[in-house]
Every structure is written in C-alpha cells, then in structure tokens.
Chain A
C-alpha cells in the first residue's frame, strides 16, 4: 500500500516552463515532507522540505505548496532548465519515526 501517492509519472516541459508535481497522503501522523531529486546513476538528494505549519516554502527556483486540509503537497520548479531533468520523489515521515515513505517518482524532462 503506497502511503504517499505521486503524479504524474512523467512530465515534459519546455525550458522556462513551470513543471508541477503533486503528492497526496492519508496518514495524518506525517509531519515532515521532503522532496528529493535523483539523477541517473546517483542516489536521491534532498531538494527542499516542509512541515505542515506552513503553506508554502521557497528555495531558489523550487517551491513547495502544502494543503494540510486536503492532505496534498506539490513541487513547483520556476524557470525550469535542461539541467533540472531528473526524477523527483516526494516523501513523508512521522515524528519519532526515522524512515521515509516515498512516492513512486516523476521523471521530468526539460526540453531546451
């Protein structure tokens, strides 16, 4: 049973576009929501994370929007670049537990 559902599975955008990746969860005990970026042949790397006491967090060109009542969160990449082409994973964890529950990933391709 997938505790974090992620969509879309793949996404193709033009350079400068704003890809949006969505995630949803059911477990209200989750209180930490990170996004990871993975390039081929590499492990995932933490991109940005949010806690449910805020509705939005920005770091550079990356923004997380969080809707606690809907139990949904999304990643927006502003002014996307070909170098952003990678697989993106959302994740969630509970306070006191150290493991992450990951979404199934979104393969993003940014066309020059």
Chain B
C-alpha cells in the first residue's frame, strides 16, 4: 500500500515569490491535513481538507492557502514568501473518523532565501 507522497522533496525560493506544494494521500483516505515543522515551533497545524472542503484552519496568515481535489489529492500554496516560511511542510492523511489513522508523508523542505 503506497504511503503519503509529497512533491517536491526540496524547494528553494526567493522572498516575495509564491510556491505550491503537492500531496497525494493514501488511497481511500479522504482527509488531508498540512503541518509546518520548524526547529523553534515544532509542528504547527495549517489546515485540514475533507471531500474538497476546508474543515479546520490553524493560526496562520492568509498567505497560506490550500485546496483539495475530487481524487483527494491536496495542494498548499504560500504567497509572498518570507524568510520565516522556511520549514518542513508535512502532509498527513487518514481515513474518515479515525484519529489513530494519521499517516504523514516525508515532507517538502522549503528554503526561502
């Protein structure tokens, strides 16, 4: 069974640019969540999507957005990049109604220069 796939694995962007990250969940998982991981803050929840609808949102500025497609694949977008956006962005998928079922991808390492 394939795991959660995130692309690309690494990305370098310049301040002010925008970036789109992609996540393919485990087949059958309709819930996709995104987290930002930094050394200082640990893992912080960005948002969760279920059946193409944002179900929950963390405390991040509006520059961070996401969407989910009908096949459950999800993308997150960060506009007007800042140096502080440098982080590992993790996607997690799980089956509906199962809190134990979170499976994380290996993440996209974003570096803003």
Q: Using CB atoms and an 8 Å cutoff, list the residues of chain A in contact with chain B.
A: 2, 32, 34, 36, 41-46, 49, 89, 91, 93, 97-105
Contact = CB atoms under 8 A, between A and B. Distances in A.
Interface in B26-49: 31, 33, 35, 41-45, 48
Interface residues of B, number: 23
Contacts of A105: 42
Interface of B: 4, 31, 33, 35, 41-45, 48, 55-56, 58, 90, 92, 99-100, 102-107
A49 B100 contact: yes
Given A46-B102, A100-B102, 18 more contacts: A2-B42, A34-B100, A36-B104, A42-B106, A43-B90, A43-B107, A44-B90, A45-B103, A49-B99, A98-B31, A99-B33, A99-B48, A99-B56, A99-B58, A100-B35, A101-B45, A102-B42, A104-B42
Nearest to B59: A1
A98 B100 contact: no
Contacts of A46: 100, 102-103
